Amino acid sequence: MTQIKNQWHPLPYNEWKETLDTLHLFTQIIGKIRLALMPMQVEWAQIPFALTSRGITSDRMPVSFGSIDITFDFISHEIFFKGSNGNSISFSLKGLSVAAFYKKVFDTLKEFGIEPEINPMSVEMKVPVKMDTDEIHKTYDEQAVRKWWEVQILTGNVFNEFRSRYSGKMSPVNFWWGSFDLSITFFYGGQIKTQPGMDLLYRVAMDTNQITIGFWPGSEDFPEPAFFGYAYPKPDGYEKSGINPEEAFWSDEKGEFFLKYSDMIKTSDPVKTLKDFCESIYCTGIKMSGWDSDSLEYKPPIEKPKI
């Protein structure tokens, strides 16, 4: 088998936006199933997907016979359903409309004896889509998906290393199917009062002081991939703090800092550039938010054991 080295591929939004929209909706269908099956947890911790070495997974979800997990494989371009009862079913992601994918997913779950109820309307999209009848979104470019996923792997590696410094409450590297982004979040202190007018999504997500760093492939409103970072609640003057690298900028509309992916991969050392962005978002955020940085820095008591 030919070995393919993961790379920081160019990811021009307009060249794969139809595939991106289709894949986004595919993941929302599985994500809503996870939401239906999992018990509610703080800051929506029960709903994100995790990266695997071949794609993304729902991870284990409780069902009547034990558990089931659903995994997207972006090397073979299939989706796998595996139950603790020993059953395993898969089908191809190629050549399906969103409606056809929706039907195949629920037909497959029925074979396992699972019949979750979900709202078929998409979330966190400019134009909501009724996914069980959507015949418009049906583009699936294997090469584009593979490139995007390889960037997720490289980004996830940087995020996972960066989060190892923190001793407080934090998220793992999460893939959020609603917004279709990959991120890590650092939390500090107890619950805070949410802002008036926040909808349920943000009331649950934003109930604690936090700093988030992530990667997002773009949208019609911001048609290019970018890394993002923010502190919440926003400290006074945060937008003027000067985040590294110099290519990073503040968006008043979004209320967060951005580093365009295209700018990052042009640098002589993209990994260092991304680490600089993470470091700057994190250090500026904890300083301006008044977090106790010394107590939050993780210092391993021993060297990594060689077993």
What values do phi and psi take at 294, rounded to 5?
-60, -40
| Distance (Å, whole) CA 236 – CA 272 | 28
Q: Which of 252, 220, 221 is nearest to 239 (CA)?
A: 252
Name the token pair of 64.
Answer: 């009547």
| % of the chain with per-residue pLDDT over 70 | 92
What is the structure's pLDDT at 292?
87
What is the structure's pLDDT at 296?
84
- Listed by start position, the domains of the chain span 13-133, 142-293
pLDDT tens sequence across 34-57: 999 998 877 667 799 999 999 999
pLDDT tens sequence across 136-146: 999 999 999 99
Q: Which of 105, 52, 116 is nearest to 81 (CA)?
A: 105
The yes-or-no verdict on residue 202 having pLDDT over 70 is no
Q: Which of 123, 140, 103, 144 is nearest to 9 (CA)?
A: 144
What is the structure's pLDDT at 201?
61
Instruction: Identify the band that residue 2 occupies on the pLDDT scale cut at 50, 70 and 90.
Output: very low
What is the structure's pLDDT at 62?
96
What is the structure's pLDDT at 306?
72
Contact by Cβ (8 Å): 256, 228: yes
The yes-or-no verdict on residue 1 having pLDDT over 70 is no
Q: What is the mean pLDDT of residues 87-115?
A: 99
Rg for the chain, CA atoms, rounded: 20
